[in-house]
């Protein structure tokens, strides 16, 4: 991924395995389109700093270099019953 690629941090609820798979597919597609995605499913095991610190540090887009561009994407899905 080029260093100047726009960065996207994806946060989502872990409602079901199907939902997690859909979010992973979205992140993979964004990566194929040239965005630098960060998502928990790209971590193998657990981050050394723990999930809370990992999430806090990766969602701090103001730490990006000027003009790098960035987006924190929170996905909220309402279950329909």
Spell out the domain ranges in the chain. Answer: 7-75
Please tell me the predicted confidence (pLDDT) of residue 15: 82
pTM attached to this predicted model: 0.72
The Cα 52–Cα 68 span in angstroms is 24
Please tell me the predicted confidence (pLDDT) of residue 40: 93
Are 75 and 19 within 8 A, CB to CB?
A: no
Other Cβ atoms closer than 10 A to 15: 11
The Cα 26–Cα 20 span in angstroms is 10
Please tell me the predicted confidence (pLDDT) of residue 13: 81
Per-residue pLDDT 10s for the chain (81 aa) are 777 778 888 888 888 899 899 999 999 999 999 888 889 999 999 999 998 898 888 877 555 555 555 555 555 555 544
């Amino acid at each position: 991924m080029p260093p100047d690629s726009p960065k996207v941090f994806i946060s989502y609820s872990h409602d079901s395995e199907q939902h997690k798979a859909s979010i992973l597919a979205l992140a993979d597609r964004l990566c194929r389109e040239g965005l630098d995605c960060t998502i928990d499913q790209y971590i193998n095991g657990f981050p050394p700093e723990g999930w809370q610190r990992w999430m806090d540090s990766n969602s701090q887009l103001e730490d990006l270099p000027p003009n790098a561009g960035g987006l924190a994407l929170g996905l909220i899905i309402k279950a329909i019953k």
